[in-house]
Amino acid sequence: MKIDLHSHTHYSDGRLSPSELVMRAQNLQVDVLAITDHDTVAAVQEAVQCNAEYQRPMQIIPGIELSTSWHGFDIHVLGLNVDVECPQFLERLNEQSQARQFRAEEIAKKLQKAGVPNVLEKVKSLAGKGQITRSHFAQALVQLNVVNDHEQAFKLYLGKGKKAHMAPKWISVGDAVQWILDAGGTPVLAHPSHYKMTAKWLRRLLVEFKSHGGIGMEVIHPRQSPVLRRQMINYALEYELKASLGSDFHYPNQWTELGKYHHLPEQLTPVWHDWNLKVA
């Protein structure tokens, strides 16, 4: 079974529409696809509708990737199988969306001070109906020939401590877990090996995440060395967290692909263990 529990559409910083994403997943023979945009579930309905038109059965898991702040780190919490119509959840997401809007304005002001004016309009048009993310700022800076690529945009302007960095006011890890549980979903700690924190801090994060009701952690994701992968597998076992995996697909590129990482080591309990997946 080809399962991918982490992907983005143009409702956040992905480049494909929900329909294009579904078409790509169908073509790649993906069986289960979670759509996990940053702080929004806006893509899910279109994806489900489009998917219903295919003969080939593929299950869409309605999901989200919530941005949180934890001791100065930007920590991402995935919510899988959330109820995308839950009014309380949608209201809460609206607050997060406003925090994104506010931060975007502040980043634009900082860029202006750094000699790059009028970026906000460009960023808004790049984001369209979706959430404004730093990826959109990176894209705008590339288009304006201020930087050569996204990596440089983060290195010079958007990364932590750089010229146009604005410490975000995201919710806490505990709140994110609670929001997801209240919406009937499964909270999963996203890409734990990407946070550039010491093992001591990561262990602290895992303990805290679990104490709030966190259920799973991503053990397999892109740009991960075999050593880190081994470590994440060991943490999942040690802290009794279920294992998740995903491509974190944003747009077609040479580094990752939908459904690319679909094998979990056998000793782990998959996060979908008790989900009753329709696709066997």
| Contacts with 88 (C-beta within 8 Å, 6 or more apart), sequence order | 182, 183
Tokens of 70: 């934890």
User: Which of 13, 31, 37, 218 contacts ligand AMP by CB under 6 A?
Assistant: 13
Q: Which is nearer to ligand AMP, 135 or 186 (CB)?
A: 135
The binding track of 187-216 with respect to Mn ion, each residue x by CB under 5 A or -, is ---x--------------------------
In the numeric block, which tokens belong to residue 67? 């941005």
Interface region with Mn ion, contact rule CB under 5 A, candidates 21-29, 50-58, 93-101, 245-253? 245-253
Question: Residue 276 CB: number of other CB atoms within 10 A?
Answer: 6
Q: Of residues 248, 259, 260, 270, which one binds Mn ion by CB under 5 A?
A: 248
User: Which residues lie closer than 8 Å to 17 by C-beta, 6 or more apart?
Assistant: 9, 10, 46
Nearer to ligand AMP, 4 or 31 (CB): 4
**Length in residues, the chain:** 280
Q: What's the closest the beta carbon of residue 55 comes to Mn ion, in angstroms?
A: 29
- Restricting to residues 133-152, which ones interact with ligand AMP according to CB under 6 A? 133-135, 150-151
DSSP category for residue 264: -
Q: Which of 273, 195, 192, 275 is nearest to 239 (CA)?
A: 192
Q: For the chain, percent helix, then strand, then coil, each to nearest 5?
A: 40, 15, 45
Q: Which does 151 bind (CB under 5 to 8 A by kind): Mn ion, ligand AMP, none?
A: ligand AMP
Specify whether the CB–CB gap between 84 and 45 falls below 8 A. Answer: yes
Segment contacting Mn ion by CB under 5 A, of 20-28, 136-144, 241-249, 259-267: 241-249
Instruction: Return the number of the residue (74 or 106) whose C-beta is nearest Mn ion.
Output: 74
What is the footprint of ligand AMP within residues 64-103 (CB under 6 A)?
67
What is the total count of residues that contact ligand AMP (CB under 6 A)?
A: 10
> Among residue numbers 19 through 38, which ones bind ligand AMP (CB under 6 A)?
38
Dihedral angle, C-alpha 190, 196, 200, 205, nearest 10 °:
-30
Q: In this structure, are residues 19 and 50 in contact, taking their beta carbons and an 8 Å threshold?
A: yes
150 binds, among Mn ion, ligand AMP, none (CB under 5 to 8 A by kind): ligand AMP
Among 104, 131, 113, 123, which Cα is nearest to 42's?
Answer: 131
Q: Which of 2, 24, 76, 260 binds Mn ion (CB under 5 A)?
A: 76
**Contacting positions for ligand AMP (CB under 6 A):** 13, 38, 67, 133-135, 150-151, 154, 250
